Structure 1
Amino acid sequence: MKNSILYCLAAASLALSFFFEYAPDSPNTAGRTYSAATASLLPDFSGDNGDDTHPATTRDSLAYGYYSQTLGLKLDYNEDQNLLRTVTDWIGTPYRYGSNSKKGTDCSGFVTRVFKEVYGITLQRSSRSMFEKVKRVGKDEMQSGDLVFFRRGPGQPIYHVGIYLQDGKFAHSATNGGVMISSLNQPYYHRNFYAAGRVETN
């Protein structure tokens, strides 16, 4: 019985030593025998590292990390958070032709809602009408927020639109899955990609 108590005390002592380290007295530590060592076990979210901007930086880092994981993007942590947040909020919304709500949306409905929420811009309701209003940009010049348009072959009308994000990825509402992130390198979208356009804010 005595041995059991001693073993328990030894185990408790070992566990406590994991969380606390002995700090010998010095002019700066007089009167304090132990200092917590939790900082070595957990990330520092306190913001107390001599950098006044650290709390905001930490929040931004967490946000970018979340967007990166949710959208499948490799972010530089300087992208438009408002666009990333809004697109993230719409991910998983089901496809519904002629609608533009979180209960269901088609491709142009999704694009118009995002542009209204992020940029305060009211776009035309159809992908073809949008294409007539944008400034054409080359595929190698696309920037985050540009629109990408698709058609099923030469001479065919535009039938689909999405919002370019980066690294060949774009957000759109697809008939076979609703709002999602896809790649322009996927065979279907690579084959049907027609053009990119930039909405002029002036």
Structure 2
Amino acid sequence: MIRVKGHLWVKLSICVLSLSSCASLHKGTAKKTTTTPTTADNRHAEFIDGISTGRNNRNNTSSYNKDVSISKNITRGSANLENAQSWQFKYAQVLDVPVEEVLNQRLYSFIEEWWGTPYRLGGKTRNGIDCSGFVNTLLNAVFQLSMAGSNSVQLYNQVTRLSSRELHEGDLVFFKIHHKRVSHVGIYLENDKFVHASTSAGVMISDLKEPYWKKYFAGGGRL
């Protein structure tokens, strides 16, 4: 009986030790389990904070400010574009200038009305017109300048001479085409473009930088 009690005591002792060791193992495992994700979470939180408040955030702020600045420019430009009319878009494209620079409605309406009118020496109507007749008609209708009857030579003798760099809208441009004297005249617009009654295509817009017109350009003038 004493031996049996001794064996029972030993078994109970072993069980107690086993339970206590398991408990200690569970505690250790639980500790590791809670520690690991906490550390990972802390690192993750630092990483997120680094993006939101660190160097990247300053970059994002500067980019935002830049976008705002651009959007303001676009808004102002869009307001002008929204108010622009079809003739402004058309002649901005022809002249290769911003729409906002095409402002003289009377001038471009006149050009639109006369566009394509055939060339006719001595003509003064839409059935046919020559270069000086077109210039005289335009000056009178758009700029209220009466130069009736003046041919290209007479106009050239009345103007203040200008170089191509000094030309502004409404100035005259002169050419010596196959002659020693001035034989052709047009009205300067913008960006080296001028409107005139050409012998080949009638009333049209040409470019002073084109080789043909550059070759025969005699100068500009202002009335």
TM norm. shorter chain > 0.5? yes
- 1:140 deviation in Å? 0.5
Task: Name the structure 2 match of 1:127.
Answer: 152
CA contact (8 A) 1:61 1:77 kept: no
User: Residue type of the partner of 2:100?
Assistant: Y
TM-score if structure 1 supplies the norm length? 0.64
User: Residue type of the partner of 1:85?
Assistant: S
SS at match of 1:158: coil
Task: Name the structure 1 match of 2:100.
Answer: 77
Task: Name the structure 2 match of 1:90.
Answer: 114
CA contact (8 A) 2:177 2:216 kept: yes
TM-score if structure 2 supplies the norm length? 0.59
Task: Name the structure 2 match of 1:21.
Answer: none
- 1:152 deviation in Å? 3.8
1:141 to 154, 158, 166: 166
CA contact (8 A) 1:97 1:105 kept: yes
Cα RMSD for the two superposed structures: 2.1
Q: Which has the higher strand share?
A: 1
- 1:74 deviation in Å? 2.0
- 1:77 deviation in Å? 2.1
User: Residue type of the partner of 1:103?
Assistant: N
SS at match of 1:170: strand
CA contact (8 A) 1:151 1:192 kept: yes
User: Residue type of the partner of 1:125?
Assistant: S
Cα gap change, 1:180 to 1:121, in 2 (>3 Å):
same
1:105 aligned to 2:129?
yes
1:141-160 per-position Cα deviation (integer Å, ceiling 9, x unaligned) = 1101110000147x811000
CA contact (8 A) 1:67 1:88 kept: no
Q: Which has the higher helix share?
A: 2
1:117 aligned to 2:141?
yes
Count how many residue pairs are aligned between Structure 1 and Structure 2: 143
SS at match of 2:173: strand
Unpaired stretches in structure 1, ≥5 consecutive residues:
1-53
Q: Looking at CA atoms only, which structure, 1 or 2, has the larger radius of gyration? A: 2
Cα gap change, 1:73 to 1:103, in 2 (>3 Å):
farther
SS at match of 1:144: coil
Task: Indicate the percent of aligned positions where both proteins have the same amino acid.
Answer: 35
User: Residue type of the partner of 1:87?
Assistant: I
